Structure formats: structure tokens, C-alpha cells
Amino acid sequence: MPRKQKYPHLLGSKWTAHQKTEGWRHFQVANRKQEGPWVFAELVASCDPTVRLWVNAQQLKNRSLWQPGWQPLSDLTLDTEPAEF
């Protein structure tokens, strides 16, 4: 019997970064690879397909870094400094 694949629904999933990554926040998983016990996801920026990066799929579970789906930026707790009055 084949082993159960880790992160079976990773390919094609959409993610929103809490902080800008390579200048963008919205990404989609275009590719996945497994190297030993590790699974990696190739993220492609939704507005610029030339921006690509590989991340460990476990990082996508960290809700302080990534949110599943494309979230409106107004819904994120953005790390911005308060305006001075």
C-alpha cells in the first residue's frame, strides 16, 4: 500500500502573507516537491508570475506568517506604526 501523501491539497492552494514577501502578499502554490521528510511549496505571486519562491510547507501552517486563501488586506492585522498626531 502506498504511503499517504503529506499536504495532499497543497497544489493550487492560495495564501496571503502577513508581511510583504518579494513585494507581494497574495500567492498561489504552483508546484510541490518532497525531499526526504520535508515538503516544499513553490509560491507564485498572484499579480506577478515572475515572482516565485520555495517555502517549507510547514511554514504555511504558521498563522502569524500566512493565512489560507486570498484575504483582503483590511482583514489582516498589519504591522504598521500608528500615525502621529
| pTM, rounded to two decimals | 0.80
The string of pLDDT tens digits covering residues 9-64 is 899 999 999 999 999 999 999 999 999 899 999 999 999 999 999 999 999 999 99
CA distance 11 to 41: 8
Q: Is residue 32, in this structure, part of any structural domain at all?
A: yes
Residue 3 lies inside a defined structural domain of this protein? no
Tell me whether residue 28 is in a domain.
yes
Distance in angstroms (rounded) separating the CA atoms of residues 43 and 67: 13
Q: Is 26 part of any domain?
A: yes
- Please give the Cα distance from 44 to 27 (Å, whole number): 5
Question: How many distinct structural domains can be found in the chain?
Answer: 1
pLDDT for the residue numbered 9: 87
